[in-house]
Amino acid sequence: MNCDALPTIRIEDREITRLICGGNPFSGFSHVSEELDWEMLRYYTMPRLQETLDECWRNGINALVSRGDRHQMRMYLEHRERGGKLQWIVQTAPELADLRANIAQIARFGAAAIYNQGSHTDNRWHEGRVDEVLDLVKFIHDLGLPAGVGSHIPQVIEYVEEKAWEADFYVCSFYNLARGYKSAPAVDRDAYAKDRFPSGDPDEMTAVMRKVSKPCLGIKVLAASRKCSTPQEVKSTFEYAFSSIKANDAIIVGVFQKYRNQVAENAAFVREILAKSASRR
């Protein structure tokens, strides 16, 4: 463990910092526009990806969440072969035909935990087939790893809890981007235009996160860059997040290092916020 690590939670036997680096920008998923997708992809060469992961460790972040595709597998492999120590929490890559094969390959690359990608879970929900995701949770467990379920829909998390799926953690979007069947931008060029970020969504999801006892990892905390126009806005949004989730929850925040060191800024804000919170107890 990094001696300067941020405060941690536990997912089974893994200690995970309460600020986790998100991987959407690494794969060019901005949730803003096709132009920003391309800017992210062009910026994040493999050397810059490795430097960003190293910067996370230097700033006390000990975990990464990203897609289980070949690109991200290669990135994490190079990180570990260079001596990197970040733990990799991996979401399935639903564009692949065989998710079990995808999960098995992720496990071989050294994942600390695996969860079913949120849009895949939510699409099964809309189709009335969400129970199929339980088989993936069981398969992840069969490989000896903590298994999670991702969702943008608060009612899905409640359903999984009520049905006692024995998921070890949840990945919960502060904003519901899956009010209907959701296609990926590569399939639907208007996918981002359909995304909505209503102001009441975070309250609804964080209420569910507080209600379940298992660790929840919050995503889309900054509304996919819509709430980070200034450092102060980032800090205030983080303050809201940590005051609204429970003590064994964490947040996942993607970074785009091209214009400023967002890793260092985010880590400093979280360190300050959690220190103040601890002093009030």
Q: Considering only CA atoms, which of 22, 18, 79 is closest in space to residue 48?
A: 79
Tell whether the torsion through CA atoms of 69, 201, 212 and 252 is positive or negative: positive
| 125/165 Cα distance (integer angstroms) | 15
Q: State yes or no: pLDDT of 103 exceeds 90.
A: yes
Average pLDDT, the chain: 94
Burial (CB < 10 A; 0-12, 13-18, 19+), residue 102, is: buried
| 87/63 Cα distance (integer angstroms) | 4
Instruction: Give the domains, in start order, of the chain with CATH numbers.
Output: 8-279 (3.20.20.70)
Q: Provide the 3-class DSSP secondary structure of residue 11.
A: strand
Structural contact between residues 181 and 127, judged by C-beta atoms closer than 8 angstroms: yes
Q: Give pTM, 2 decimals.
A: 0.95
| 31/225 Cα distance (integer angstroms) | 8
Q: Place 196 in a pLDDT band, splitting at 50, 70 and 90.
A: confident
Least confident of 26-40, 77-91, 149-163, 206-220: 26-40
What is the tens place of the pLDDT at every residue in 109-155? 999 999 999 999 999 999 999 999 999 999 999 999 999 999 999 99
**Which conformational region is residue 174 in: left (phi greater than 0), alpha (psi within -120 to 50 degrees), or beta?**
alpha
